[in-house]
Structure 1
């Protein structure tokens, strides 16, 4: 598989991951946080916003493979 094709597949994989993770994070925050204070919400969304990074690592390493 060429590097160009691997990057294209990885790009679509990252986009799908981010969209799904965004829906999951917002939905979980809406249902589980309820009417907490703004500080709790900000802390949750900061942690949830960084939570997709471990799942993106395999995609990025797949994209960076050199044949």
Structure 2
């Protein structure tokens, strides 16, 4: 098993699209629309056509969208 030291401290967990949809509480169609528009979190397309999202990329994407309004 790899430790954070072995991976450079990066979170390399890959999330499936259903996991991301559940977390964001959005329908699949919205997620794929965001992908077409280039505003979705960074995705990895596997050779079998499935899509995965790194946990770290999803977290960074969410941080970029935080509303700083009081």
Regarding TM over 0.5, the answer is: no
Under a length normalisation based on structure 2, what TM-score does the superposition of the two structures give?
Answer: 0.29
Higher Rg of the two aligned structures: 1
Normalising by structure 1, we get a TM-score of 0.30
- Greater fraction of residues in strand: 2
Give the structure with the larger helix fraction: 1
Per chain length, whose mean CA-contact separation is higher, i.e. which structure has more relative contact order (CA < 8 Å, sep 6+)?
1
